[in-house]
Structure 1
Amino acid sequence: MSPWVQKRVCERSLTRVFLIMEILGSTFDDSVFEESRNRVSAALPAYEPKLCEPLWFCEDGNVEDPLEEQKTLKFRGDLAYKRKQYQVALDEYLSCLSLIPAGNISVKRDVLEGIARCCCHLGRKEEALNACEKLRTDVSNTCHLTCVLQLELSVHEHYRDLTNSISSLQQLCCLHPYHPWYWLNLAMSFQRLLESPGCPERSSTEEEHEKQQGTNNIIRLKTIMCLIRARLLIEILRIQQFSFVLENSQRALQDIEEALHVLQPTEKMLQTVSEVMAEDLNPEKMREENQDGESLSGLYIKDFDDKWWNKLYTKLQEETPDLSMHRPLEETFE
């Protein structure tokens, strides 16, 4: 196409654009087509950046602006927490919390998390959990809920509260069913519960012994269930991994095999558990159910036992009619 023809095509295209703009009531401002020398340049106001010295927020002095006072207290609390001065940090955070406007949810979340962590280190478990509960009231999406659950988990783990740690991990597994590390952590928590002094192998009476045998069997099966689920997920993700991430996955798989070796599940048991825990593990379903950042409005999160354990237990009963939790599992799955 010759230059002259190209010019004519461009002119016709521009004409069509102008006609459409006139029909829609839109036009270009004439100043757009003026020569640059004819345009009036507006003088920009002088910009004077605020200069802050290191640790400027530690300086004593009256701060009249509530927003500046809020920032100062928040930064002081963060610095004190970093220095492990937890009581000082807690005092600063509490003072800051009273100044935060109702609409500033993000800063409020940060400060409440700081309060929870300080109380945890200071041995004030109930106050730490109360701060976590306040955080729950402002939760609006799955990311916020995940942060709250992880914070609660850290408090329970700090006080070696296995039962509540398991509860937090179960909620995380329901919220993120394809997160292998939550499943592995949950499996290890179940295993510690199984090995804890609170689960004796022998009881004083036969009735107590049967009851304890049933409890131990359930915990053992849940441990195996979580280990299998973690193994399946890691094997899926391992295909796309490299370097140290791949090494971590391989190490985790080795830990899972060692844990299963200790629990000694039968081949039949492993096969049944694997079938149940792999039912939803296909790429399409995993993409559809990815809830990262999803609004909690209208989102229904099933209870862990309803979603996983009851399904497995029903399957085990179908395949093993004489299943009994009051005698060793090896006798049932021979």
Structure 2
Amino acid sequence: MEIFGSTFDDSVFSESRDRASVSVSSYSPKLCESEWFCQSEALDTDDSLEKQKVYKFRGDLAVRRGDYQKALDAYSSCLQWIADNNLTIRRDVLEGMARCCTRLGQRERALHLTELLSKEASNTCHLTSLLLLKVSIFQHFGAVESSVCVLQQLCSLLPFNPWHWLSLGQTCEQLLGRSPGAAEEQEAGQVEEEEEEEEEFSQDRIWLKACACFIRTRLLLRILQQQQSSFVLRRSESALQLMEEALRRLQPGEPRLQALTEVMSEDLVPEKMREDYQDGESLSSVSLQSFRERWWDKVLLRGRGASQGTGTDTET
């Protein structure tokens, strides 16, 4: 009995001259002038794909030049010519439209476009791009509390990415000294339980969350430093200096610093941090509740237990 795959076709070993020759037709590449898509005759075609390209290129060029209204118009026209199965280009155009709306001060329309994107998010990369887009929109309009909520989802999605934790810590620090909701109007649905919103964004809790995020960032960067070099290593070293300065400003005190370090390092084990496990959580599990259950509830519990440390005490 022959083992599957153990025999070969003799033609594989035949001389090249014995094989049938395949004629290749001549190929003439298409030559395009610079910014050819800006010409009016570029749209003189019945090919929907060609029209899609023209409008997409016009939008990209307008964004590069800072003409966001012109870019928005071009992207809107492009959207009409995108095939239903071309989800990649559709997502790219919708994101471009959302960023243009943000620059033009059209907050509601920008957030509406993110909702359209969320319905088509089918993997970790899609959701990561969507959450980063929402963060940029909220930060542009000064909606710091909403930015915190979205960054918490990012940290739940990619728990071993130090830069998301750094962004969350820095955003929390921006809220210190402000009353909850003082500089923004909360979007419906951004905070899961509105009755707990004031407590969630109290100064004590925000201070404690900032400390925990900076500690988590420092832990992750120290681990990653072991396999870094060149400019990547220098970037991590600069970020670590920022962490030390931030913690000196916040003054968590040694007992609380140790307690928070224990909480934020519990899942930092080689088995969980392998690249195979860093593809993010399932889309359905990425929520504010996920962040609370994995870290925040423990941070509150340990923070209260270490309340004898220096710095601002957590609420009781």
Tell me the TM-score range normalised by the shorter chain: 0.7 to 0.9
Which residue of the partner structure matches residue 112 of structure 1? Answer: 94
Which residue of the partner structure matches residue 49 of structure 1? Answer: 29
Matches within 5 A, 1:158-237: 158-196=140-178, 215-237=202-224
AA aligned to 2:30 is: K
Is the counterpart of residue 132 in structure 1 residue 114 in structure 2? yes
After superposition, the Cα gap between the structure-2 partners of 1:312 and 1:299, relative to the gap in structure 1 and judged at 3 Å, is closer
After superposition, the Cα gap between the structure-2 partners of 1:46 and 1:163, relative to the gap in structure 1 and judged at 3 Å, is same
AA aligned to 2:133 is: L
Is the counterpart of residue 266 in structure 1 residue 246 in structure 2? no
Separation (CA, whole Å) in 2 of partners of 1:186 and 1:101: 38
**Structure 2 residues without counterparts, runs of 5 or longer:** 183-197
Asked if structure 2 preserves the Cα contact closer than 8 Å seen for 1:227 and 1:260, the reply is: yes
AA aligned to 1:44 is: V
Is the counterpart of residue 155 in structure 1 residue 137 in structure 2? yes
Q: Between Structure 1 and Structure 2, how many residues are aligned?
A: 296
Q: CA deviation at 1:246?
A: 2.1
AA aligned to 1:50 is: K
After superposition, the Cα gap between the structure-2 partners of 1:37 and 1:183, relative to the gap in structure 1 and judged at 3 Å, is closer
Name the TM-score, length of structure 1 as normaliser.
0.79
Q: CA deviation at 1:198?
A: 5.4
Q: Give deviations 1:66-104, integer Å, cap 9, x for gaps.
A: 111111111111111111111111111001101111110
Q: State the structure with more CA Rg.
A: 1
Q: CA deviation at 1:33?
A: 6.2
After superposition, the Cα gap between the structure-2 partners of 1:316 and 1:84, relative to the gap in structure 1 and judged at 3 Å, is closer
After superposition, the Cα gap between the structure-2 partners of 1:133 and 1:111, relative to the gap in structure 1 and judged at 3 Å, is same
Asked if structure 1 preserves the Cα contact closer than 8 Å seen for 2:56 and 2:78, the reply is: yes
Separation (CA, whole Å) in 2 of partners of 1:112 and 1:330: 42
Matches within 5 A, 1:7-26: 20=2
After superposition, the Cα gap between the structure-2 partners of 1:43 and 1:261, relative to the gap in structure 1 and judged at 3 Å, is closer
Separation (CA, whole Å) in 1 of partners of 2:96 and 2:315: 51
Asked if structure 2 preserves the Cα contact closer than 8 Å seen for 1:175 and 1:291, the reply is: no
After superposition, the Cα gap between the structure-2 partners of 1:284 and 1:27, relative to the gap in structure 1 and judged at 3 Å, is closer
After superposition, the Cα gap between the structure-2 partners of 1:39 and 1:182, relative to the gap in structure 1 and judged at 3 Å, is closer
Q: CA deviation at 1:182?
A: 1.0
Separation (CA, whole Å) in 2 of partners of 1:38 and 1:260: 75
After superposition, the Cα gap between the structure-2 partners of 1:278 and 1:328, relative to the gap in structure 1 and judged at 3 Å, is closer
Indicate the RMSD between aligned Cα atoms, in angstroms: 3.1
Separation (CA, whole Å) in 2 of partners of 1:189 and 1:42: 63
Equivalent in 272, 277, 280 of residue 267 of structure 2: 280
Asked if structure 1 preserves the Cα contact closer than 8 Å seen for 2:204 and 2:314, the reply is: no
Q: Which moved more, 1:66-75 or 1:36-45?
A: 36-45
After superposition, the Cα gap between the structure-2 partners of 1:20 and 1:63, relative to the gap in structure 1 and judged at 3 Å, is same
Which residue of the partner structure matches residue 314 of structure 1? Answer: 301
Asked if structure 1 preserves the Cα contact closer than 8 Å seen for 2:155 and 2:165, the reply is: yes
After superposition, the Cα gap between the structure-2 partners of 1:331 and 1:186, relative to the gap in structure 1 and judged at 3 Å, is closer
SS of residue in 2 equivalent to 1:329: coil
**Structure 1 residues without counterparts, runs of 5 or longer:** 1-18, 201-210
After superposition, the Cα gap between the structure-2 partners of 1:123 and 1:28, relative to the gap in structure 1 and judged at 3 Å, is same
Which residue of the partner structure matches residue 9 of structure 2? Answer: 28
Q: Percent identity, aligned pairs only?
A: 46
Separation (CA, whole Å) in 1 of partners of 2:106 and 2:58: 21
Is the counterpart of residue 246 in structure 1 residue 233 in structure 2? yes
Which residue of the partner structure matches residue 329 of structure 1? Answer: 313
Separation (CA, whole Å) in 2 of partners of 1:281 and 1:275: 10
After superposition, the Cα gap between the structure-2 partners of 1:330 and 1:186, relative to the gap in structure 1 and judged at 3 Å, is closer
Asked if structure 2 preserves the Cα contact closer than 8 Å seen for 1:193 and 1:199, the reply is: no
Q: Which moved more, 1:306-315 or 1:162-171?
A: 306-315
Equivalent in 59, 63, 75 of residue 39 of structure 2: 59
After superposition, the Cα gap between the structure-2 partners of 1:283 and 1:156, relative to the gap in structure 1 and judged at 3 Å, is same
Asked if structure 2 preserves the Cα contact closer than 8 Å seen for 1:141 and 1:295, the reply is: no
After superposition, the Cα gap between the structure-2 partners of 1:170 and 1:33, relative to the gap in structure 1 and judged at 3 Å, is closer
Which residue of the partner structure matches residue 83 of structure 1? Answer: 65
Name the TM-score, length of structure 2 as normaliser.
0.83
Which residue of the partner structure matches residue 257 of structure 1? Answer: 244
SS of residue in 2 equivalent to 1:195: coil
After superposition, the Cα gap between the structure-2 partners of 1:316 and 1:48, relative to the gap in structure 1 and judged at 3 Å, is same
After superposition, the Cα gap between the structure-2 partners of 1:168 and 1:24, relative to the gap in structure 1 and judged at 3 Å, is closer
Separation (CA, whole Å) in 2 of partners of 1:57 and 1:295: 41
